[in-house]
């Protein structure tokens, strides 16, 4: 499943004008949700994405890949999304 998501992400990035970010998008798709298998995230699910970003950076991934891993679990709830919209208005 994860490999299909990675391939689809790369394909879409290349076809919607983000070809220069295709490798980063594929890397983020490969790493997204990988932190869910860790004991830290299993014990504290609110850290999903947060730990993924930390692990990606420690693994030597580009900051944009690490940020995409973090954002793959956003919004955390509908209230956070609504609050962000209110702040940007």
Summarize pLDDT for 23-72 with one digit per residue, the tens.
Answer: 999 999 999 888 888 898 888 888 888 999 999 999 999 999 999 999 98
What is the model's pLDDT at position 79?
A: 59
DSSP class of 77: S
What gap in Å lies between CA 72 and CA 76, rounded to an integer? 10
What is the model's pLDDT at position 47?
A: 87
pTM of the model: 0.73
Question: pLDDT per residue over 54-65, tens digit each?
Answer: 999 999 999 999
Domains in the chain, number: 1
What gap in Å lies between CA 62 and CA 88, rounded to an integer? 27
Domain ranges, residue 14 = 2-88
Buried b (16+ CB within 10 A) or exposed e, 26-52: bbbbbbbbbbeeeeebeeeeebbbbbb
Alpha helices by DSSP H, listed for 16-77, are 22-31, 39-43, 50-58, 63-71
């Amino acid at each position: 499943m994860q490999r299909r998501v990675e391939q689809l992400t790369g394909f879409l990035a290349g076809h919607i004008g983000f070809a220069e970010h295709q490798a980063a998008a594929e890397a983020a798709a490969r790493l997204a949700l990988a932190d869910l298998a860790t004991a830290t995230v299993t014990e504290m699910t609110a850290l999903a994405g947060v730990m993924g970003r930390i692990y990606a950076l420690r693994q030597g991934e580009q900051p944009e890949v690490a940020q995409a891993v973090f954002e793959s679990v956003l919004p955390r709830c509908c209230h956070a999304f609504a609050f962000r919209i209110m702040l940007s208005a």
